[in-house]
């Protein structure tokens, strides 16, 4: 059975719809939500005794809402003008969904979270020599579904997001990176592809300077592998901090602890307990810094270290890089980094875990 692809404008449908014969029925066989494409996918089966033509589809966008009023049907557009909503038909002017038929999956674009969907089957029937549309209201089916359309792009303060799907481009188009050495952004990652660094001359060079940030959150999925050359710290991200440069840096030190530093008049560092990171296992790592206030480190959404700080990092960063702690000849990552995001504020524990759950 083909996909339900035909749409008729609701305004074209007669107000006095006929009733369907008793024994008309429809079943929602499968329903799923793709959080990346923001599309609802479903498959339906005709479980009744009569052929059907298609269906109306509505949804609820509130957990306590009883009546499904949100129209999910395709929109009819002509000449760039939105004419209205539509009814979903299997084929034009035919009751082509036979008893026992299952449609192929049909996708509906979403612009908000939904909690249930409601389908009312329809069919064509002859009346006084004319084909009329009948609404099978008695065969209405409703199914609960939680379909979240959350995306990190919707979190305030997102400065850059490198998803490393084959390259080092920023999804926001602000700070595209250049792969240095043998950096490879086509290896398997936590979500799709990731960037692999072999610890010997591999890193990503970013736009210089990086935006000024007084407060920040760095969040990424990291999986370390073998030893690296130079300093034993494996860098995740640096804005160019250290020495006379203001900024911030995050990495994993030589005792398998997550490490961060913010720099102003001096370098202020924070570490988790030793051995919290194991080679060959992927972790979500988030570091948070607020100028002249505090520093925090999270591992897999759990706060593992915190301290107060007097350092102020509000300054343009001269040498931002991914996969090193500062000088690209030392502190190089040996392992993979995926879904690296930088925010210009401190994210809460709940926000960090929301991002983690989004990729789960």
| Position 86 in a domain | yes
Residue 42: how many other CB atoms lie within 10 Å: 22
Give the model's confidence band at 155: pLDDT under 50 very low, under 70 low, under 90 confident, else very high: confident
Identify the pLDDT of residue 17: 63
Q: Give yes or no: residues 141 and 157 share one domain.
A: no
Phi and psi at 323, nearest 5°, equal 90, 15
CA angle 183, 185, 188 (to 5 degrees): 120
As for how many domains the chain has, the answer is: 2
Assess if residue 75 is contained within a domain. Answer: yes
Q: 310 forms bridges with which residues in the sheet?
A: none
Same domain, 141 and 38: yes
Query: Could you tell me if 122 and 156 lie in one domain?
Result: no
pLDDT at 150 exceeding the cut of 90: no
List, in sequence order, every residue forming a beta bridge with 260; answer none if it has no partner: 250, 270
> How high is the pLDDT of residue 316?
59
Do 162 and 131 fall into the same domain?
A: no
Average pLDDT over every residue of 330-340: 93
- Write 301-309 long-range contacts (CB < 8 A, 24+): 301/349, 301/352, 301/353, 301/356, 303/349, 304/258, 304/272, 304/273, 304/276, 305/258, 305/270, 305/271, 305/272, 305/273, 306/270, 307/270, 309/262, 309/268
Q: Most confidently modeled of 18-32, 232-246, 265-279, 289-303?
A: 289-303
- At which of 106, 128, 147 does a domain end? 147
Residue 39 pLDDT class (50, 70, 90 cuts): confident
Would you tell me how many other CB atoms lie within 10 Å of the CB of residue 126? 9
Give the domain-ending residue among 104, 120, 147. 147
Q: Which of 214, 232, 237, 228 is nearest to 286 (CA)?
A: 237
* Claim to verify: residue 157 and residue 300 sit in the same structural domain: yes
Cβ-contact 254, 274 below 8 angstroms: no
Indicate whether 301 belongs to any domain. yes
Structure confidence by residue, pLDDT tens digits, 62-94? 778 888 888 887 654 344 443 344 567 666 667
pLDDT digits (tens, 9 = 90+) for 187-199: 999 999 999 999 9
Whether residue 354 lies inside any domain: the answer is yes
SS3 138: helix
Please tell me whether residues 173 and 94 are part of one structural domain.
Answer: no
C-beta separation of 109 from 71 below 8 A? no
How far is 81 from 72, CA to CA, in rounded Å?
Answer: 18
Q: Are residues 237 and 341 in the same domain?
A: yes
- The Cα 161–Cα 152 span in angstroms is 9
Residues 222 and 141 in one domain: no
CB neighbour list of residue 77: distance below 8 Å, 6 or more residues apart: 83
Q: At 106, is the secondary structure helix, strand, or coil?
A: strand
Q: Are the CB atoms for 157 and 346 separated by under 8 Å?
A: no
> How large is the C-alpha radius of gyration of the chain?
27
Beta-bridged to residue 160, according to DSSP, are 342
Q: Domain for residue 1, yes or no? A: no
Same domain flag for 136 and 224? no
CATH number, position 42: 2.60.40
Alpha carbons 277 and 307: distance in angstroms, whole number:
20
- Burial of 73 from C-beta contacts in 10 A (0-12 / 13-18 / 19+): buried
Instruction: Return the SS3 of 238.
Output: strand
Same domain membership, residue 281 and residue 297: yes
- Give counts: helices (H), strands (E), the chain: 1, 27
Both structure tokens of 232: 């034993």
pLDDT digit string, tens, across residues 42-59? 889 999 999 998 888 888
Looking at residue 330, what is its pLDDT?
78
Whole-number Cα distances in Å, 286 to 259, 265, 340: 10, 24, 10
Q: How does DSSP classify residue 144?
A: E
DSSP 8-state secondary structure symbol assigned to residue 282: -
Residue range(s) defining the domain that contains residue 245: 152-358
d(C-alpha 263, C-alpha 314), whole Å: 10
pLDDT band at 247 (very low <50, low <70, confident <90, very high): confident
Q: What is the pLDDT of residue 221?
A: 98
Residue 161 sits in the same domain as residue 295? yes
Q: How far apart (Å, rounded) are the C-alpha atoms in residues 182 and 203?
A: 8
Contacts of 94 (CB under 8 A, 6+ apart): 53, 124
Question: What per-residue confidence (pLDDT) applies to 4?
Answer: 43
- Residue of 160, 165, 167, 175 whose CA lies nearest to 319: 175
- Residue 321 pLDDT exceeds 90: yes
CATH number at residue 173: 2.60.120.200
Mean pLDDT across the chain:
83
Which of 124, 147, 170 lies at the terminal end of a domain, its last residue? 147
Clarify whether residues 162 and 200 are in a common domain.
yes
The answer to whether residue 77 is domain-embedded is: yes
Give the C-alpha separation, 116 to 63, whole Å.
Answer: 8
């Amino acid at each position: 059975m083909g996909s339900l692809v035909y749409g008729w404008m609701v305004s074209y449908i007669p107000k006095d719809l006929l009733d369907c014969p008793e024994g008309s029925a429809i079943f929602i066989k499968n329903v799923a939500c793709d959080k990346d494409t923001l599309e609802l996918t479903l498959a339906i089966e005709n479980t009744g005794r009569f052929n059907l033509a298609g269906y109306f589809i509505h949804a609820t966008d509130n957990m306590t809402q009883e009546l499904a009023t949100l129209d999910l049907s395709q929109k009819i557009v002509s000449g760039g003008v939105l004419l209205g909503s539509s009814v979903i038909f299997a084929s034009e002017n035919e009751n082509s969904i036979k008893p026992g038929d299952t449609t192929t999956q049909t996708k509906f674009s979403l612009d908000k979270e939904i909690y249930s969907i409601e389908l009312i089957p329809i069919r064509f029937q002859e009346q006084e020599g004319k084909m009329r549309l009948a609404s099978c209201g008695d065969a209405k089916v409703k199914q609960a579904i939680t379909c979240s359309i959350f995306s990190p792009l919707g979190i305030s303060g997102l400065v850059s997001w490198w998803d490393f799907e084959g390259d080092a481009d920023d999804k926001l188009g602000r700070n595209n990176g250049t792969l240095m050495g043998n950096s490879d952004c086509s290896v398997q990652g936590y979500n799709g592809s990731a960037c692999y660094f072999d610890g010997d001359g591999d890193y990503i060079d970013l736009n210089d300077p990086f935006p000024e940030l007084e407060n920040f959150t760095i969040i990424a999925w990291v999986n370390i592998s073998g030893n690296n050359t130079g300093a034993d710290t494996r860098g995740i991200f640096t804005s160019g901090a250290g020495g006379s440069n203001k900024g911030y840096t995050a990495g994993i030190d030589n005792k398998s602890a997550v490490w961060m530093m913010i720099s102003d008049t001096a370098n202020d560092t924070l570490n988790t307990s030793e051995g919290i990171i194991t080679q060959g296992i992927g972790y979500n790592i988030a570091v948070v810094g607020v100028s002249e206030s505090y520093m925090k480190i999270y591992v897999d959404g759990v706060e593992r270290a915190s301290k107060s700080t007097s350092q102020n990092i509000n300054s343009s960063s001269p040498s931002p890089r991914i996969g090193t702690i500062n000088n690209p000849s030392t502190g190089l990552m040996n392992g993979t980094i995926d879904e690296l995001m930088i925010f210009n504020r401190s994210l809460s524990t709940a926000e960090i875990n929301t991002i983690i759950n989004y990729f789960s």
